[in-house]
Amino acid sequence: MGDLESGQENVLDTAILEPVANPLNSRRKFLRAGGALAVTAAVVAGAREANANLRGFSSDVKPEKLLLSTRKTGKPAIPALEIVVFNRLAFGWRPGDLEAFRQLPGGNAEKLRTWIELQLNPEKMTDQDCDAKLANLESLNKPLEVAWADYYKNLDDKDEKKFQKMGIPTLEARLATITRMVFSKRQLLEVMVDFWHNHFNVHPERDDSIKPTFMGYDRDVIRANAFGNFRVMLEAVAKHPAMLRYLDNASSNRAGPNENYARELFELHTMGAENYRGVGRQRDVAGYAQGQPDAYVDDDVYEATRCFTGWRIDDNTDESGFTNTGQFAFFQPWHDRFQKTVLGRYLPPDQPGTKDGQDVLDALATHPGTARYIARKLVRRLISDKPPQSVIDAAAKTFLEHQDAPDQMKYVIRSIVLSKEFASIWSEKIKRPLERFVSGLRILETDIKLNEDMLWTTYYMGQALFDHHPPDGYPDFREAWASSSGLLRSWQFMNGIAQDWDEKYKSGVMKTNANRRKPLEITDFWLERLLGRKPHPLEIRDDLIKFLADNGDSNEAITDDDTLKWRVQSIVGFILMSPDFMWK
Amino acid sequence: MQHINRREFMMGCSAAIAAMTGSKLSSVALAEATGSQTLVTVFLRGGWDALSVLPPLDGKDRGYYEAARPTLKVPVKGENKALELNAQLGLHPSLAPLFELYQAGHLAVIPATGMPSNTRSHFDAQEYLELGTPDARTSPSGWVTRFLTGTKSNSVTDLLSESLSLNDELPTSVRGNLKAVGFPSFDGFQLADDAEYRKFLGNALTRLWDGDQWLQQAGMTALRAVDTITKINSGEYKPASDAKYPDDSEFSKSLQTLARVMKAGLGVRAATVDLGGWDTHQYQGEKAQGYFGNLLSELARGLAAFFTDLDGLRSSTTVIVMSEFGRRLDENASQGTDHGHGSAMLVLGGSVAGGKVYGKFPGLAPDQLFDRADLAVTTDYRTVLLEVMQKRFGLKNSLDVFPNFKPSAALGIMK
């Protein structure tokens, strides 16, 4: 921090001081200016006076410094590998996770390889504690057809609880997902599930008929393919009633095609807007003559829309061949049978069944533009909001090389995580609200009650699970998540769980604190536990110690139990509310 | 909080701001006296169906419209008929509260607005519009941010921020401004209920967050905003002139929150408010009723209440309503409409030369359509925004806000 009294550079960065017309930059000049500034000067003096009688957190800092300058902290240092890993490839850590990583054999590179292979094979990992918490969810394992019958088809119109029942699979999918984020050892799987849910976003409340199918969407489409083959996943998404209904393809027919799904298939699910050339003609796109156009245009969207006509849901018994199973059905009478051209491929008339649509999915899943787009999104998610091009290129190449592998995405993930950039980039991202919520619960080993109240907390924090209405998923760049209300609500939540103020979240900070009573010891214990490293800037550690010690001896035990509890829970809250707990 | 000893608190930044705020805060009087202007942008996300908002009433265009919209057309006679703006264009009946403002001369209507980009993607279009750079997405700042740096502030105080977004997520238009504040309402917008504890937390957080990195700056902006809002958020709010905000609308709640902030004279010069749900690919609603009509009604009732509530601030406030594009002329099989091109803008304010349709309706004959499918664009949205900025905010160089854009002559929307 610049020294105010010496008149060194001090940027007036506090909004309150901006009415000052003259760009004064030192307190001395500031006070001399008088007049309109008198109010501020008086306030500053008053604050200093008051401070003399009070103590605590920052008693060695003159308050006017806080008011007049910005502390020059610089960028935080890149933390140890395990900190990076659990912040970016997991939803934070539970106590013991960091130690377990450190005890893996070999150097950092080998540890990371070992950890990644464990995580990429979740089925080999036992996860009983988490599984046990899911045991009471009635719709968890119901096949789609059964869920459709139980929560939609067979519901009685006179049943007062009809709409509540209809929503059970969606409610339970939300509860199960948060439970897994918090308790499952299969953390990388959960990170990828979160990634794909945002990538193939469905808002279940858009239509009553989506809600009964949403557990199935989470289980059979997203989870089943999270580490799998992209082309397989793409078709599973395209045929699932949740997506068919959400993006309206279920009602698209040759007489009045609905392009909603086809457009988002290109723009959000595969090639991305970066490979979109608007209204242009197909033949004008580079590479078209060679059968591999390097981008798509509106005409590709319209032609693909025709390809997917007749891809609908067996949701009634009135139409011929339908039995109301709630599952995907190809309905020939609605299908546009004529020839189409998509991405330079000629599709002849009268192709059998779903072949037109599958040809489109083939073209998209193997397109270099799709590889780049998926790679960029993943690198942004796993490394940085400014994704390094070299990592994107390598991941895209890997994506194409393994396009037929049943575990294609595992190769792509490895190429990103094992890149040299992975562990050498830090603080270009911040946790999204849901990550803040989950990582706070994980590190405090908070006991949570699985109910709708918990979902309300995620809503309040600004990122309710599976509640993003437009099809693009929640944004994954830091600017979107640093609004004043977003930060404030995270602070409120973090402080609340540290202090055990909420019946829903019981953390037991004092139990963890055990018999520690000395300020220095307490501070270092909690910094290591919550951050796994020293705070940035380092003087925050001194602040915490001074607060605990009431400016006294940092090695003198706090004897009064109430005082100890208040101060310990407060510093746990402070650490969780600090920027260090938000960078990733 | 019985364990908190008063001696546990320290006074610092937060207390200083508190004292300052207390001495400076006043009501409308201050805001009025400063002569400061406020630009409110209402962004309708999803692409509103401009052809239902401003349906053609007569002639050949009416014929094309009715043929293309068998179930969705807004009728010209009988129940729920369009409100007549002029001989050519009507206003959707659910916008009746805005029609009153149109008749009173406060609302201007501009059909067929948009940008040169031919994208039919929501996310492209929103980003281009909000960055203010059609077909390019590399700008580090949004147009609102550049507008604020390109115009001088008259306000005597800057206790909150010049840039306020009534959202949890900050929109692209305010990108690049670390002091942009965002919150949807005052609900829970304080560190704690207890005043002493608030001070304690505020001081601790200030100490934890004070720093020169991007995230730390955002945190300090939040702390200042929280402190200021906590001061003005006491007691029941009573809207002026018996303004009646619909109580079942988040959008209205945000507008009411904005009115409170504006009246407190906190120096907000640019505000953004979002209303979503316009991506009506299905079941838009027949005969001007149903889903789309309800959404328009929410928009109109909220804006009308806001304008009434502004009271003495009406002449210094300009509200611009826009969306990323309009929708296809032909309705689809799901009784909805797909993504289109030309949209429509509304400009509301005490200094607006309203009661008039500005710009040009390009017609609905196949050759007049964009890509033979959508309403064409005849007025660049930047021309509309620039007129407000130049006449009300004294913007000198339009290139500061919209680089590489040569605006057409101002339409004359502002007095």
Question: How close B185 gets to chain A, by Cα (Å)?
Answer: 9
Question: How close A540 gets to chain B, by Cα (Å)?
Answer: 7
- Mean pLDDT, residues A118-122 taken together: 98
- What pLDDT is recorded for position B8? 29
**Residue, of A1 and A474, whose pLDDT is higher:** A474
Q: With 60 as the cut, is the pLDDT of residue A19 above it?
A: no
Residue A49 belongs to some domain of the structure:
yes
Q: What ipTM goes with this model?
A: 0.86
Residue A3 belongs to some domain of the structure:
no
B183 touches A: beta carbon within 8 Å: yes
Alpha helices in B177-311 (DSSP H): 195-209, 214-232, 250-263, 291-310
pLDDT per residue, tens digit, chain B (415 aa), is 223 322 222 222 333 333 334 434 444 444 544 458 999 999 999 999 999 999 999 999 999 999 999 999 999 999 999 999 999 999 999 999 999 999 999 999 999 999 999 899 888 899 999 999 998 877 888 999 999 999 976 554 557 889 999 987 789 999 888 888 999 999 889 898 888 899 899 999 999 999 999 999 999 999 999 999 988 887 789 999 999 999 999 999 999 999 999 998 888 999 999 999 999 999 999 989 999 999 999 999 999 999 999 999 999 999 999 999 999 999 998 899 999 999 999 999 999 999 999 999 999 999 999 999 999 999 999 999 999 999 999 999 999 999 989 999 999 999 9
Tell me which of A26, A42, A68 is where a domain ends.
A68
Residue A285 belongs to some domain of the structure:
yes
- What pLDDT is recorded for position B266? 86
- What pLDDT is recorded for position B35? 59
What secondary structure, in 3-state letters, does A190-248 show?
Answer: HHHHHHHHHHCCCCHHHCCCCHHHHHHHHHHHHHHHCCCCHHHHHHHHHHCHHHHHHCC
- What pLDDT is recorded for position A141? 98
Choose among B370, B126, B342, B119: nearest CA to A301: B119
pLDDT in tens, A545-557: 999 999 899 999 9
Q: With 60 as the cut, is the pLDDT of residue A44 above it?
A: no
**Nearest Cα residue in chain A from B7:** A54
Residue A293 belongs to some domain of the structure:
yes
What domain range is A19 assigned to?
Answer: 15-68
Q: What residues of chain B, 139 to 158, have a C-beta less than 8 Å from chain A?
A: 155-158
Helix (H) or strand (E) holding B44: strand B38-45
Question: How close A9 gets to chain B, by Cα (Å)?
Answer: 14
- pLDDT, mean over chain A: 88
B179 touches A: beta carbon within 8 Å: yes
Contacts of B207 (CB under 8 A, 6+ apart): A57, A58, A61, A66, A540, A543, B12
pLDDT in tens, B71-104: 999 999 999 999 999 999 999 999 999 999 999 9
A57 touches B: beta carbon within 8 Å: yes
Residue A281 belongs to some domain of the structure:
yes
On chain B, the residues whose CB falls within 8 A of the CB of A510 are none
Residue A256 belongs to some domain of the structure:
yes
Residue A529 belongs to some domain of the structure:
no
Tell me which of A314, A330, A365 is where a domain ends.
A365
When scoring B199, B210, B261, B371 by the number of chain A Cβ atoms within 10 A, the one with the most, hence best to mutate, is B210
CA distance A184 to A174: 15
Tell me which of A365, A381, A398 is where a domain ends.
A365
A537 touches B: beta carbon within 8 Å: yes
Binary contact (A66, B206; C-beta < 8 A): yes
pLDDT in tens, A123-169: 999 999 999 999 999 999 999 999 999 999 999 989 999 999 999 99
* CB atoms near residue A377 (< 10 Å): 19
Q: B279 and B272 in contact (C-beta within 8 Å)? A: no
Q: With 50 as the cut, is the pLDDT of residue A49 above it?
A: no
Binary contact (B3, A55; C-beta < 8 A): no
Q: With 90 as the cut, is the pLDDT of residue A306 above it?
A: yes
Binary contact (A248, B15; C-beta < 8 A): no
pLDDT band at A56; cut points 50, 70, 90? very low
A491 touches B: beta carbon within 8 Å: yes
On chain B, the residues whose CB falls within 8 A of the CB of A64 are 16
Q: What residues of chain B, 14 to 73, have a C-beta less than 8 Å from chain A?
A: 15-17, 19-20, 23-24, 45-46
pLDDT in tens, A312-323: 999 999 999 999
Fold of B35-189+233-401: Alkaline Phosphatase, subunit A (3.40.720)
**Nearest Cα residue in chain A from B341:** A279
Number of domains in chain A: 2
**Residue, of B152 and A472, whose pLDDT is higher:** A472
- What pLDDT is recorded for position A26? 27
Binary contact (A486, B169; C-beta < 8 A): yes
Question: How close B333 gets to chain A, by Cα (Å)?
Answer: 4
Q: What residues of chain B, 295 to 354, have a C-beta less than 8 Å from chain A?
A: 331-334, 336, 338-339
Instruction: Enumerate the CATH 3.40.720 domain ranges in chain B, comma separated.
Output: 35-189+233-401
> Residue A13 corresponds to which tokens in the numbers above?
């960065």
Q: With 90 as the cut, is the pLDDT of residue A276 above it?
A: yes
For A57, the closest of B119, B207, B216 (CB atoms) is B207
- What pLDDT is recorded for position A6? 34
B71-76 own/partner pairs: CB under 8 Å, 24+ apart? B71/B286, B71/B331, B71/B335, B72/B284, B72/B285, B72/B286, B72/B331, B72/B335, B72/B337, B74/B287, B74/B288, B75/B287, B75/B288
The number of residues making up chain A comes to 584
- What pLDDT is recorded for position A221? 98
Residue A218 belongs to some domain of the structure:
no
